[in-house]
Structure 1
Amino acid sequence: MNFLFLKLWLRKLKRNKIYSLANVLGLTLGFTAFILISLFVRFELSWDKSHRNYDRIYRVQRHMEKALYANNGNDISPHSRPATARFIEDKFPEFEKVSVIRENGSAFLFAEAEHPVFSDKGIYADSCFFDVFTYQFMAGNPKTAMAEPYSVVLSESMSKNLFGEMPAHGKTVLLDKKYPLKVAGVYRDQPYNSSVRPSYIISFSTLQPLKNISRDDVWTGDCMTYAMLKTGVSAEQAAAKIRDLFGEYENIRNEKLELCPLSKVYLNFNDRNDYLFVLRLFALIGLFILVMSGFNYINLSLAKASMLGKEVAVKKVIGSNRKSLIFHFLGETIAVSLFSLLVAFFIADLLLPVFANVVDKQLDLNLRKDWLFIVGTIWIAVLTGIFSGLYPALFLASHKITALFKGSFFNKKRESFSLKKVLITFQFAISLFLIVLTLSFAMQIKYVTGKDLGFEKEGLLYAKLNVSENEVMFDQLKDRILQHPEIKEVSMSRNLPFVSFGGGMTNWEGNDPEEKITCRFNQISYDYLSVLKAKIIAGRNFSPDFPGDQGKACIINESAAKCFGWDDPIGKRISDNRLTIVGVVSNFVYQDMHNPIDPAVLLLAPNTISGEWILAFRVNEQHQVKAREILTASLGETFPNDPFEIRDVPTAFNSENAFQIYHSVNKTLYFFTFLNILLAIVGMFGLVSFSVSRRTKEIGIRKINGSSPLRIFNLLNSEYFLLIVYSLVIAFPSAWFVYNQIPSANKLPAQPWVFALGAVVLVLIVLVSTSYLTIKAATKNPVEALRYE
């Protein structure tokens, strides 16, 4: 019986090629999109799950309780003070292990003097680090690796970059050409979806001789603390106990500590839900496309039902009951659904590298590792087959034999065609929703990309330096560099837009000293604003004519003036009245184009280059290559023991995380909107093919009675264009609402012409899908039409 069923099913597929192809291709596209989006969403929700104690690990964060006017959630700082770990260990037995780490930023490691390896992923970590986090060591002992100063453990990739295939354990590397570090171990690279994914880890005790920072330091605030709770301990109760950990310190008693679970560190550490919105949007798109493929299947099954009336009637005559007929039809639809899923897995595997590149994630599909995901997808395919075939099965199996032989049940439009119209309307609405959303997001990307940054990024180069000896006078270095016409201007600063940002808090004159705002602090040379081409809109810039500015004066930006509530800030004081405001600079973007522009406070830098600084260069854009060569030679001569690399700000701008997410979302929307349009075309083509075949005799009679091909074309297409109007009512408000929910401080308002263009695109999709078949039917010889039976 099963073999006979399979034989009959295959014969039907072969006999109705267009119907079969439309069904299989439609479901395959739907399942392919669903698989790819599911893999992406699953990947993003699985961050840090490679750690054994994932559900017990928390990051200790600071909540700036008295921080006023906090933009983009920056009253929550992921950074903490080194002493946080020791205080928690000493006072609260609820915590099993507490580890403190500090990011090292950009640095060069040397195994050989002539072959530096650059990395911006290094960290310092204490001896508890490997008790909290799970790392697989290839060499060395994780229990003792971080015990001694000047010890380092390397990732497998870093080890290969430095030593090739030679064993690294026990050897020595140089940090920034200055500090010898003994390799105490090598660990396997952490998965891409890990919040703490260093390329090398230096023992925390090394910070004491290098930067005078110890694990007992209360006043340094740029570390991170990760705590692991004991089994069964309530996170809420533990968080309540550590909240006022620094209450006895007057200057920092308003910093309240919070516990952020490891599951939220990547996705939503400050409870803003911005990226979670993106993931929900992707999940919604995947569901929409799957639903749309199911609607296609139902519509095509309903259309096919018009050709199956006599077959069902004969089966009833020879004894088939209602139940067996329903199971027969459901068996067919489930078989098609499962076959489509099989093809979809094959296509998804082919497309996965392309899609992973689009979303910039390391996605994979492994039959052995992902068997739960595959089983779940199979169940979804079975349910899709059941829901897609249930109505047509019930519809045919419930009619009387005489009605099935006559085909009279198809005249009752309210039974079949009302459902068909509802499903097609929702298909059109889904297509239009995705088209409008994609076009709107593309316009948003264009808007953000072209928005005035408040400074000119083109032609701006920079080099990050860590000068520990042989102090150099900045003005002397600048004069030497400016002798070359390829370099127009030179500046020195602690931070640079899209490169590094700085941070801190300050109070202001006339307000409660306890209440502060978070802002971007920066030390700059006289030429900094000139190099950026930022504008002073009130007061003055720093100048050698005012030598007393050092340590006593500051320049603020428009955002700071607004937060302080001052229309005329010149002469006002901030930071416990220590700094007098001498100028206001127009707002320029410091960190990203997604968040509002933070308040900024600029201080005058000393003339001596010592420690960590960024040198910025405004160069002739037509001679950038030559300028890089000049700068590399000049800085190499001046700082022979300090490695550096000449980079450009436009690349830093394009590499910024929020900007990359914008582009990733945009490319993903394009990708799935294309699949959706293809799905709509396939579904419409299959549906129209059956509509035309069922009305062949009607078309012939109309042509004999004088109907023109254009009139017949309009007759066959008119119902679809009416359904487009209905879909506009559903899709336009939905797309407008979702687009307005997309988080961004620099948001392009929804553009009416984008909605109009989306409607035009939908009409074109319908025309492309239906024109070939309807024109062919309208121009066919009516004699052939009347003889087709």
Structure 2
Amino acid sequence: MIRNYFRIALRNLKKSLGYSFINILGLASGLACFILILIFVQHELSYDVFHKNADQLYRVIQRRPGSNGVKYWAATSPALAGNITQQFPEVQVATSVFPTFNPLLSLDDKHFAEEGILADDHFFTVFTFPFLQGNSATALKDPNSIVLTASLARKIFGAKKPIGQTLMYQDKYPHIVTGIIADVPETSHLTFSYILPASSDPYYQDCVSKEPWYNNGLYTYVVLAKGVDAKQVEKGMRRYIDKNLADWRPEDRMTFLFQPLKDIHLKSQHLATFAFEKSGNDKYVYLFLAIGFIVLLLACANYTNLAVARSIRRAQEVGIRKVAGAWRWQLIGQFLGESLIMTFLALILAIAMVHFALPSFSQLMERPIRMDYLANPLLLPGLLVLTLLVSLISGSYPALLMSRLKPVQVLKGKQVGLTSRFTLQRILTVGQYAVSITLLVGSFIIYKQMQFVQHQQLGYNREHVLTIKVNDKNVSQQYAAIREELLRNPHVVAMSYSQSLPTTVMTMQSMSRWEGSGDHLLPTNTTSIDYDFLNVYGIQLVAGRGFSRQFGADTLGAPTALINESAVKALGWTSKEAIGKEFDYSDGRGRRTIIGVVKDFHFNSIHQALGPLVLTLNRDPSGYIAAKIRPENLQGTVALFENAIKRVTPYPFEYQFLDDNFNKLYKSDLRLGEMFASFTLLAVFIASLGLFGLAAYSTQQRMKEIGIRKVLGATVPGIVGLLSKDYIKLVFIGFIIAVPLAWYIMNCWLQDFAYRVDIAWWIFALAGIFTLTIALLTVIFQSLKAAWMNPVKTLKAE
């Protein structure tokens, strides 16, 4: 019997190739979309689960008061790891980790610019990165040691034995290779090619030797004992801070929170301050997953509509089978079997689509996403289960509907149960168009917001600004000569250096008015700049002056500063009143005098509101060199900079235009927009296929009515209008459902931006008109086909 069902299903597929193609294409599109998203979601949820003690491992983050509310920092002080293990027995072990600055490894005359980390000797007790050579217990004990990943060891040493070999770090610090570990998995939030002992780093030593609670540049990880509640340890730490930082005002003291290791990748958006890993976004992951389910359900609804439309032609077949003795469960099995075959064929096409789309999808999501059947043992079983579920969801309604037909009525030409105006088909079509319009509105609003971001007045110039990362102190020491040489070229307009770029000023300090009143500390962002910073970036002065080589106070190192309008406002002054005022600053240099007030500019993404900013003078070039250059011959100008800098450093030449750096701030939002646009087109396509099926079904039902109307003188436009008005109603109902849904979803998304566009009424109107146009084009094809048919053919059966 099963073989017979299979043979009948194939015969029906061949008999209606057009129907079969449309149905398989619709299902395949939905399945491909869902599989792609599922692979991406699985990848995002698998971060850091490979560590043996992942369930007990936490990153300690700090919660601090900020100028615009509470801020969360991923970076902590060097005092934390040692104190937390001494004071809290619930903490089994703790380690401090931080990224290498100006990384460069050298072997003889070969140089390798690789990203690494520095860590204390507890690192391999906390994290279980497997050792291939060496001893994990002693690999980081010696300050002059270094641990390499397997791929970096091969890259540097080739076939030579790496253990015991000496590498130069930053071209001057020798380190002996004491261990080789397996390459860091792609699903690790910590990414590195080598590990150096933290004790060898002057920055770490400096932080530990000074007041450690005031320096925040390290990342602290702890392993809690099994069964310990992290919240209880947090409460104990709060009491410890209150006791040991009693001289701090209570509202200025930090508190510490424990973030589970498995949450770091997806739930660290609010920890962007000082986080050095490339984090994901749990909101976007679950949003994509929800959209994947929706698109798949749209495809199933499309199949159901088409199956019901086609079932009218098979009503007599059902009647004959029942007369011949077929049981209802046999008919259900037959129709579900046909659905399973159709879904399996769609799955094969979907897998081909996925393999074709994966390279572009991986590039868009910036993830190494692969469909690896061997590495992912759940993939094939999962696809088979998905096929069964989709075939059941899409085929159950047609199977149940057709199997309950009464043979007497069917064989007399009556089709009871298939003619209700308020059938599931119409409900599904309304749902399809409600989803399509919602996605269209979302795409329009995301595009509008991204256009707003691109054209927002930032307060600084970002066009034709070349930025170069300074990795080597040789460049800093010879900056004056390099600057003088390059400014002689007519294509170089101005040059500057600064600790940070104006797009990402991350460093935090605290300031307070110097009036002996013990005013509340004001947290501020800060960066050090040179004399030409304001000129290169086109940042305006509101009052006072900028740093200048013409003023002895600046050149002799007087403690002066520039502040922005937000800082002036927070301190209760006007811009003019602020000039000459003094304030206390927590950068270790004490009191400073304000010599100028700059106009507010966005020194972070516009997800965040503008806050106080302090600019200090840096006479030791570090961080970034920036040059305002002319747009003509850009490549030649870049080559000019490369030649000048490569003469004084072995480090690779790293450059970027400020425009590109700015766009990086909104990559995830741009990615969301592209994904939304793709899903929207797919949803509209699938909804149109579903409407095509419903139109075919309705038209088939009304063929005799159309024939009678034509005999009585009805025109083709009149018949087309008659058949189309029902679908206009369906689209309109979908529009009514979509408007509040789309407004709510997009209003929630826009809340993540401190500066955002308004949701205009015309966006909904445009989405509705676009969807209605596509629907009418779909329906008119079937309507014209029916209207042009000779009425004699439709009425001769009567």
684, 691, 695: which one aligns with 1:688: 695
Could you tell me how far apart the structure 1 residues matched to 2:124 and 2:637 are?
45
- CA gap of 1:476–1:310, structure 2 versus 1, over 3 A, is closer
Moved more, 352-361 or 152-161: 152-161
Q: Deviations over 1:717-741 (max 9, x none)?
A: 2211111111110112211211111
**1:632 corresponding residue in structure 2:** 642
**1:529 corresponding residue in structure 2:** 534
Contact 1:69 1:563 in 2 (8 A): no
Could you tell me how far apart the structure 2 residues matched to 1:634 and 1:669 are?
45
**2:767 corresponding residue in structure 1:** 758
The one-letter code sitting in structure 2 at the alignment partner of 1:603 is T
614, 617, 627: which one aligns with 1:604: 617
Could you tell me how far apart the structure 1 residues matched to 2:650 and 2:396 are?
76
Shift of 1:412: 7.1
Could you tell me how far apart the structure 1 residues matched to 2:646 and 2:353 are?
52
1:307 alignment partner, SS class = helix
Shift of 1:646: 4.2
Q: Deviations over 1:317-347 (max 9, x none)?
A: 2233444433443343344334433432343
**2:626 corresponding residue in structure 1:** 616
**1:35 corresponding residue in structure 2:** 35
2:163 alignment partner, SS class = coil
The one-letter code sitting in structure 2 at the alignment partner of 1:433 is T
**2:578 corresponding residue in structure 1:** 570
Shift of 1:601: 0.5
Could you tell me how far apart the structure 1 residues matched to 2:91 and 2:329 are?
62
Shift of 1:533: 0.7
**2:92 corresponding residue in structure 1:** 96
**2:111 corresponding residue in structure 1:** 116
**1:243 corresponding residue in structure 2:** 238
Shift of 1:93: 2.0
1:408 alignment partner, SS class = coil
Shift of 1:92: 2.0
Shift of 1:493: 1.9
Contact 1:540 1:583 in 2 (8 A): yes
- Give me the CA root mean square deviation: 3.1
423, 438, 441: which one aligns with 1:436: 441
**1:153 corresponding residue in structure 2:** 147
- CA gap of 1:432–1:106, structure 2 versus 1, over 3 A, is farther
- Asked if 1:51 is matched to 2:51, the reply is yes
- CA gap of 1:2–1:505, structure 2 versus 1, over 3 A, is same
- Asked if 1:703 is matched to 2:710, the reply is yes
Could you tell me how far apart the structure 2 residues matched to 1:501 and 1:265 are?
19
Shift of 1:261: 0.9
Normalised TM-score (structure 1): 0.90
- CA gap of 1:85–1:706, structure 2 versus 1, over 3 A, is same
Could you tell me how far apart the structure 2 residues matched to 1:377 and 1:697 are?
44
**1:16 corresponding residue in structure 2:** 16
2:113 alignment partner, SS class = strand
**1:676 corresponding residue in structure 2:** 683
Could you tell me how far apart the structure 2 residues matched to 1:238 and 1:209 are?
29
Q: List alignment gaps of at least 5 residues for structure 1.
A: none
Contact 2:433 2:684 in 1 (8 A): no
- Asked if 1:585 is matched to 2:598, the reply is yes
The one-letter code sitting in structure 1 at the alignment partner of 2:597 is V
Could you tell me how far apart the structure 1 residues matched to 2:296 and 2:259 are?
35
The one-letter code sitting in structure 1 at the alignment partner of 2:225 is K
Query: After superposition, where does 1:249-328 map in structure 2 within 5 Å?
Result: 249-250=245-246, 254-269=253-268, 275-328=281-334
The one-letter code sitting in structure 1 at the alignment partner of 2:281 is Y
- Asked if 1:404 is matched to 2:398, the reply is no
Moved more, 680-689 or 741-750: 680-689
**2:658 corresponding residue in structure 1:** 649
The one-letter code sitting in structure 1 at the alignment partner of 2:189 is S
349, 352, 356: which one aligns with 1:350: 356
Shift of 1:80: 0.9
Could you tell me how far apart the structure 2 residues matched to 1:671 and 1:164 are?
44
1:575 alignment partner, SS class = strand
The one-letter code sitting in structure 1 at the alignment partner of 2:604 is Q
224, 228, 231: which one aligns with 1:233: 228
**1:462 corresponding residue in structure 2:** 467
How many residue pairs match? The answer is: 776
**1:197 corresponding residue in structure 2:** 191
Could you tell me how far apart the structure 2 residues matched to 1:177 and 1:386 are?
65
Moved more, 217-226 or 2-11: 217-226
The one-letter code sitting in structure 2 at the alignment partner of 1:751 is A
Contact 1:204 1:215 in 2 (8 A): no
Contact 2:72 2:271 in 1 (8 A): no
Q: Deviations over 1:518-556 (max 9, x none)?
A: 322112112111111111123322234543354532211
Could you tell me how far apart the structure 2 residues matched to 1:437 and 1:580 are?
49
- Asked if 1:486 is matched to 2:491, the reply is yes
Could you tell me how far apart the structure 1 residues matched to 2:299 and 2:429 are?
11
- CA gap of 1:535–1:89, structure 2 versus 1, over 3 A, is same
Shift of 1:204: 1.0
Shift of 1:463: 2.9
Could you tell me how far apart the structure 2 residues matched to 1:186 and 1:631 are?
37
**2:432 corresponding residue in structure 1:** 427
2:84 alignment partner, SS class = helix
Aligned-residue sequence identity (percent) comes to 29
- CA gap of 1:703–1:168, structure 2 versus 1, over 3 A, is farther
Shift of 1:385: 2.9
1:355 alignment partner, SS class = helix
Could you tell me how far apart the structure 2 residues matched to 1:356 and 1:209 are?
37
- Asked if 1:516 is matched to 2:521, the reply is yes
Could you tell me how far apart the structure 2 residues matched to 1:230 and 1:160 are?
38
Shift of 1:56: 1.1
Query: After superposition, where does 1:705-720 map in structure 2 within 5 Å?
Result: 705-720=712-727
The one-letter code sitting in structure 2 at the alignment partner of 1:222 is G
Moved more, 222-231 or 774-783: 774-783
Q: Deviations over 1:539-575 (max 9, x none)?
A: 3222345433545322112333344344445144433
Q: Which runs of 4 or more aligned residues in structure 1 lie more than 6 Å from their structure 2 counterparts after TM superposition?
A: none
Normalised TM-score (structure 2): 0.89
Contact 1:440 1:750 in 2 (8 A): yes
Could you tell me how far apart the structure 1 residues matched to 2:651 and 2:386 are?
59
Could you tell me how far apart the structure 1 residues matched to 2:428 and 2:162 are?
63
The one-letter code sitting in structure 2 at the alignment partner of 1:122 is G
Contact 2:111 2:650 in 1 (8 A): no
Contact 1:101 1:225 in 2 (8 A): yes
Could you tell me how far apart the structure 2 residues matched to 1:510 and 1:715 are?
82
2:713 alignment partner, SS class = coil
- CA gap of 1:511–1:344, structure 2 versus 1, over 3 A, is farther
- CA gap of 1:56–1:511, structure 2 versus 1, over 3 A, is farther
Moved more, 289-298 or 772-781: 772-781
Contact 1:302 1:392 in 2 (8 A): yes
